Amino acid sequence: MSVTFKTGDMFVEPVDALVNTVNCVGVMGKGVALEFKQRWPDNFKAYKTACDTKQLVPGRIFVYQIGGLLGSDGPRFLVNFPTKAHWRAPSKLSYIADGLDALVDEIRHFGIKSIALPPLGCGNGGLEWSEVKPLILQKLSNLDGVKVVVFSPRETVDEPEFSERANLLMNRTRATLLKTLSELEVQFEGAFDRLSLQKIVYFLQTLGVNFNLSFERNLYGPYSEPLKKAFGALERHGMISGFFNGDKRAHVTPAGCAAADDFLRSNDIVIDEIVQKLARLIEGYEGPYGMELLSSVHWLAVNEKRYPVEKVIEALREWSEHKNLFDEPSIRGAYRRLTADGLIS
């Protein structure tokens, strides 16, 4: 059967298998990969294990089998296809070529009769569709008895993740923030919600990074309005991406990471200790719920002098009805973490 090209929603295509474009570090943070993660969390867990154990590399694919012949109406196979070694890096045409060879082998091995693919390595990957399309045709056209449907890229694609548009003046605090975020992204599964970004900067300043920001009590914990504008400026200059998106999940671009690394290296600035302290502090609290809890407990104990922990529990109940979502064991756990890490004396 021939390869056909179309546009639209790949996820409604009636096929045996769907191809998911992934990296090899266990992050599904945006685009097609994020959609796969949300639809099939068990596939994500299996994929992440394959990454953690170094089984998934460019040129090798990981097939996740959903069910047997009498399974659900959806696809029976999810094909995790590495188009990048790391999510920060661009795709390479050689990864696509080698991956397609591996895909042919797996299609035959599993007896797949129909399969749908996204535009491999294009869009955020940075490859040109004019180069990828003929490669797909060359590799997949000779599959006898297999229906291959390829979804062409949208006319307007997202800016490639490796854009080199980072020309905002770099300084010590910006470099420290960008480097810290890039190091923490895996903990936050590849991207940060806006609330978590606020709290990360709050704790960085608490740990000694002088952002010269004033925080105030807000519904969701300590908050700085100027910080929101600062993140907007970072996005406009290509150092972060996703802050303005509808889902409001941001990540550091490779250009932003490179600019931060260059500044820190050229000025002999080492921030490893601060990053490690912050990573230990927030471990287990990644995400809006945990970061709000941890920062709110710290704010009350340090800025409003509410201690011991019983006073913090009482103050949280008075803060707003919203804070009732935090139960007493969780509040005590956050207080213990902050005390153990030296942020509450």
Q: Which residues are catalytic?
A: 84
Distance CA 250, CA 195 (A): 11
Q: Provide the b/e sequence for 181-203 (b: ≥16 CB within 10 Å).
A: bbbbbebbbbbbbbbbbbbbbbb
Distance CA 43, CA 81 (A): 13
Closest among 184, 179, 172 to 269, alpha carbons compared: 172
Strands 249-252 and 192-193: antiparallel
Closest among 251, 141, 130 to 192, alpha carbons compared: 251
CA 247 to chain centroid:
12
Distance CA 116, CA 11 (A): 9
Distance CA 212, CA 209 (A): 9
CA dihedral (308, 281, 294, 230) positive or negative: positive
Q: Which residue has the tokens 């009769």?
A: 113
Structure tokens at 1: 């059967």
CA 146 to chain centroid:
34
